[in-house]
Chains A and B, each alone.
Chain A
Amino acid sequence: MNATGSAAPMLPDGLVIVVKRECETCRMTAPVLEELRRGPLPVTIYTQDDPSFPAGLSPIHDHDLAISWHHDIETVPTVIRVDNGHEVARTVGWSRAEWENVTGITGLGTELPVMRPGCGSMSVDPDLVDALRVRFGGSALAARRVEVAAAEDEFEAMFDRGWTDGLPVIPPTEARVMRMLTGTSRAPDDVVAVVPPDLVEVTVEKIAINAVMAGCKPEYLPWVIAAVEAVCNDTFNIHGVLATTMPVGPVIVCSGPGTRAIGMNSGMNVFGQGNRANLTIGRAVQLVVRNIGGGRPGEVDRATHGNPGKISFCFAEDDAHSPWTSLAESRGAAKGSDALTVFPGEGPRCVVDQLARDPESLCNTFAACLRTLHNPKSILAFDAILVVGPEHARVFAEAGWNREKVVEEITARLQIPGSELVRGANGIAEGIPAHLKDAVLPKFRPGGLLLVYAGGGAGLFSAIIGGWANGDVGSQPVTKEVTR
């Protein structure tokens, strides 16, 4: 709650009491303030609302709530003991014992009850907090201010300026951005990453601005920041992912208790509409790529078809119910931690198998469907995520197959004779050079098939999310832990 923008006004030595007339406890304890005034210590009284209260005690009106804000007054009355400019003790509400303790004066308020709780300070009033944050911390925001004339529709203005992904965005006012920044403990001017293609440093503040626009809540911000870090590096190669003619965009797979805390969806309709956290986190990352990195369709983004997931494609793995470790854990994240993995993916494709009762048969289906990823003749070049729905996962769980076993079994079924893969085979021009006709080649590179557990509890379906070119010139998935 302490502002980083403006300097905190110092408290005078002695006793400082903050009250508001509207608070019954403050009114009840007004006589005690008189007793304190008669004592040995200097007494300064700040009133938040009515400067005539408490009568006869010459209070100072904390009219702009600067004192209350900067000294974290959450309850009134608050009594603070200040020695040599430093706070040494504080108590909130009325408690005879506590007041005597803090003030060093005994026999206070003998006609009053032993204790009585205080009331909410005006400086934590939800209706006032946003404005206070801007007032006392707004100068910490470095972004250029853009004025939208009163006659302008701010939503149209943002479209006109090219700030949107084609859908309306929330206007990033100072108050909204300051509120968004409460979602992280990082400083607004902290540099998070360098964003291609313009290769610009992006700060926490700029990410927060785009997160506001996307419709995120402050508690989503750490996920957005982690995802931006995860995509802006040579391993993931967001520049390549953006610039390709293939349809891919960043797919963000989240896991950990934090996903549940912020209400992400890992179940029914996990890829679809309706869940704010899923949709706005993915969207915020795309807005950062667009607005900070400068990556736009028709310019650097040359996708032939693209896919609807390039607006947003972010979801949670159901690691609470999964029979397996989470994808993030399998890639090195600490057990039970909040983490995400970014993958260069296209839109999902459904896999139907409503009859398989044993894991071998189900793997046969998966292998047959995965075989056709991008083209039945293409091998090794592309990765994929297999999102196993709960009803399919149960087949594996009942057989005691962990994730490594599942991947191993599918991989074994995707060792393909070169003769089926060479150019021209099966009348398909695509394929591998003729000299490989006697080789046996895998569909996926080692580690190229990722497994995720997600989806609704009803439905014998899974999904495949096809990837982009892997390897050094392509993109590889990146896993990052998420911290506040």
Chain B
Amino acid sequence: MTTLLDPTNERRVSTMERVGRPESLRGLTVGLLDISKARGDVFLDRLEERLSELGADVRRFKKPTFTKPAPVDLRHEIATQCQVVIEALAD
């Protein structure tokens, strides 16, 4: 834990906010990102089935390891192909 002193005027909530969401997933490309922990694939397989039933076009991605953020290339690939992303399953 590193403690830093806030250089700002402390008035602004310098936090990110969620981007806008679509009305529904029908017709959208949904990326499922597997973080590569055990049993996550079963969970994601089921999500894929259910999301497809909802009319989404599901694409599957897998991180090389759950111990670090996804490689830049993978994030870029996901970002260029998908309109919504679901990452699972951390435990």
Contacts and interface: CB of A to CB of B under 8 A. Distances in A.
Contacts of B12: 198, 294
Q: For chain A, give the interface size range.
A: 20 to 34
Nearest to A201: B9
Contacts of B9: 195, 198, 200, 202, 206, 291-294
A291 B7 contact: yes
Interface string A374-411: 00000000000000000000000000000000000000
| Size class of the contact patch on chain B | 10 to 19
A143 B1 contact: no
A209 B7 contact: yes
B11 interface: yes
Contacts, number: 75
Contact of B5 (A174, A198, A294): A174
Interface string A167-184: 000011110010000000
B6 to A, nearest CB: 4
Contact of B2 (A154, A200, A205, A294): A154
Interface in B32-89: none
Given A161-B14, A162-B14, A294-B12, A148 B7 contact: no
A192 interface: no
Contact of A206 (B1, B2, B7, B11): B7
Contact of B7 (A150, A195, A287): A287
Nearest to A149: B1
A210 interface: yes
Which residue among B3, B7, B8, B9 has the maximum number of chain A CB atoms within 10 Å of its CB? B7
B10 interface: yes
Interface string A148-166: 1110101000100111000
Contacts of A143: 5-7, 10
Contacts of A174: 3, 5
Contacts of A202: 9
A148 B14 contact: no
A150 B5 contact: no
Nearest to A177: B5
A291 B8 contact: yes
A349 to B, nearest CB: 33
A144 interface: yes
A156 to B, nearest CB: 10
Given A149-B1, A150-B1, A144 B14 contact: no
A131 to B, nearest CB: 13
A172 B8 contact: no
A38 interface: no
Interface string B8-42: 11111010000000000000000000000000000
Contacts of A177: 5
A209 B5 contact: yes
A144 B6 contact: yes
A209 B6 contact: yes
Nearest to A198: B9
A305 interface: no
B68 to A, nearest CB: 10
Given A162-B14, A294-B12, A173 B5 contact: yes
A60 interface: no
Contacts of B14: 161-163
A148 B11 contact: no
Contacts of A144: 5-6, 10
Given A161-B14, A162-B14, A173 B2 contact: yes
Contacts of B8: 163, 291-292, 294
A361 to B, nearest CB: 50
A145 B2 contact: no
Contacts of A146: 3-6
B18 to A, nearest CB: 16
Contact of A172 (B1, B4, B10, B11): B4
Contact of B3 (A145, A158, A161, A287): A145
A182 to B, nearest CB: 16
Contacts of B2: 147-148, 150, 152, 154, 171, 173
Interface of B: 1-12, 14
- In the complex, the 8 A-B pairs of residues with the closest C-beta atoms, listed nearest first: A200-B9, A143-B5, A144-B6, A209-B7, A291-B7, A148-B2, A291-B8, A172-B5
18 contacts: A143-B10, A145-B4, A146-B4, A146-B5, A147-B2, A148-B2, A148-B3, A152-B2, A163-B8, A163-B14, A171-B2, A177-B5, A200-B11, A291-B8, A292-B7, A293-B9, A294-B8, A294-B9
Given A154-B2, A158-B4, A206-B9, 6 more contacts: A144-B6, A149-B1, A162-B14, A210-B7, A291-B7, A292-B9
Interface of A: 141, 143-150, 152, 154, 158, 161-163, 171-174, 177, 195, 198, 200, 202, 205-206, 209-210, 213, 287, 291-294
